């Protein structure tokens, strides 16, 4: 069995077994070193890929969506994007860029790719689900089907995002390392994922809404998610939590629970933004560029 992708540890504590898709039983463990929860052993690649090729995006189940390709779902997802970017103070970063490039990993139907295109970005996405890629291409979006770890891009990005994607990965450490390579100096990474630790997830035990096996493989808390990113060349800018899993739709109970989840950092979803650290050579070039800009912009003295 593989070592922990966050801390490299090999000591794990068994938590519980739970039935997943295909009525197969999966086992959840907790890393003794960093508290990451993960399935052990991981399902096979074929088993994982098969989860996203059928009706995962069209049929409402514990593990799937209710017609992900509908306009209603698209509108709701875009609403969440807007709130997430606002909470991360993304506009402040965006204002510093000219003709920026973005990549969304695990982009599904390409809704974030479309959203960023409408904001004026050169946006693209990569996805493993063939139905999603077909849908995105029909909508003229720059989305490719493939394994991100095996894909080389002809340019560097100002922004790379993983919206509710990292929990689906066997090797999130390798993804973060490649993202560092694919970003421009100072480029931004945004990650959202379900959150364990001190959160509303504690109320539900095995029945927590994100314990969907085998689609979800890894479950982070705030500390080990920050560690995964910061130990691989990033500086964390901001983290935000939201969501309670209590109530449905727009009922009062849900509104109250979601308010407390966000206000008191108790959400069972976490957002993280981080920027690629500059190596000494890049820092020197950036400082030189800023000095040149200062000289040009400074008023001449008589």
Per-residue pLDDT tens digits for 113-134: 999 999 999 999 999 999 999 9
Residue 235 has pLDDT above 90, yes or no: yes
Band of pLDDT at residue 86, cut at 50, 70 and 90 = very high
Whole-prediction pTM value?
0.89
- For 136-148, the pLDDT digits (tens) are 999 999 999 999 9
Q: Distance (Å, rounded) from C-alpha 113 to C-alpha 125?
A: 6
Residue that the structure tokens 């008589």 belong to: 302
**Residue 222 pLDDT:** 97
Band of pLDDT at residue 44, cut at 50, 70 and 90 = confident
C-alpha 102, offset from chain centre: 14
**Residue 230 pLDDT:** 97
The pLDDT of 228-247, averaged and rounded, is: 96
Q: For the chain, how big is the Rg over CA atoms in Å?
A: 20
Query: 74 CB contacts (<8 Å, ≥6 apart)?
Result: 109, 111
**Residue 140 pLDDT:** 96
- For 18-30, the pLDDT digits (tens) are 998 778 999 999 9
**Residue 45 pLDDT:** 82
**Residue 280 pLDDT:** 58
Q: Tell me the CA distances in angstroms from 99 to 89, 116, 184, one per residue in order.
A: 19, 12, 13
Domains of the chain and any CATH numbers: 44-297 (3.40.50.150)
Band of pLDDT at residue 291, cut at 50, 70 and 90 = low
**Residue 225 pLDDT:** 98
**Do 175 and 255 meet the contact criterion of CB atoms below 8 Å apart?**
no
The pLDDT of 248-257, averaged and rounded, is: 89
**Residue 50 pLDDT:** 72
**Do 295 and 288 meet the contact criterion of CB atoms below 8 Å apart?**
no
- Residue 159: closest CA among 124, 108, 109: 124
**Cβ neighbourhood burial of 206 (10 Å; 0-12, 13-18, 19+):** exposed
- Alpha-helical (H) ranges within the chain are 45-51, 71-87, 90-94, 111-118, 130-138, 172-182, 222-230, 252-263, 280-297
Crossing angle (nearest 10°) for helices 172-182 and 222-230: 50
Band of pLDDT at residue 156, cut at 50, 70 and 90 = very high
**Residue 302 pLDDT:** 43
**Residue 181 pLDDT:** 96
**Residue 139 pLDDT:** 95
- Residue 189: closest CA among 95, 92, 90: 90
Q: Distance (Å, rounded) from C-alpha 228 to C-alpha 80?
A: 24
């Amino acid at each position: 069995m593989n070592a922990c992708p966050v801390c490299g540890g090999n000591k794990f504590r068994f938590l519980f077994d739970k039935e997943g898709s295909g009525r197969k039983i999966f086992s959840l463990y907790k890393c003794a070193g960093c508290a990451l929860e993960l399935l052990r052993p991981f399902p096979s690649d074929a088993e994982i890929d098969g989860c996203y090729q059928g009706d995962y995006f069209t049929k409402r189940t514990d593990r799937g969506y209710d017609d992900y390709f509908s306009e209603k779902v698209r509108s709701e997802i875009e609403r969440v994007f807007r709130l997430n970017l606002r909470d991360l103070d993304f506009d402040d970063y965006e204002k510093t860029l000219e003709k920026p490039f973005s990549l969304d990993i695990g982009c599904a139907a390409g809704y974030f790719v479309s959203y960023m295109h409408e904001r004026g970005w050169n946006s693209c996405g990569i996805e493993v689900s063939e139905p999603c890629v077909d849908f995105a291409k029909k909508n003229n979006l720059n989305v490719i089907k493939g394994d991100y770890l095996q894909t080389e891009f002809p340019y560097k990005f100002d922004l790379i995002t993983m919206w509710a994607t990292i929990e689906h990965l066997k090797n999130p450490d390798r993804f973060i390392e490649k993202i560092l390579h694919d970003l421009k100096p100072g480029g931004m990474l945004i990650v959202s994922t379900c959150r364990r630790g001190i959160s509303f997830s504690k109320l539900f035990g095995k029945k927590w809404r994100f314990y969907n096996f085998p689609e979800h493989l890894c479950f982070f808390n705030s500390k080990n998610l920050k560690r995964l990113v910061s130990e691989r060349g990033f500086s964390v800018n901001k983290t935000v939590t939201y969501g309670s899993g209590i109530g449905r739709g727009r009922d009062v109970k849900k509104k109250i629970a979601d308010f407390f989840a966000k206000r008191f950092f108790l959400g069972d979803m976490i957002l993280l933004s981080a920027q690629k650290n500059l190596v000494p050579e890049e820092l020197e070039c950036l400082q030189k560029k800023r000095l040149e800009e200062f000289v040009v912009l400074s008023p001449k003295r008589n």
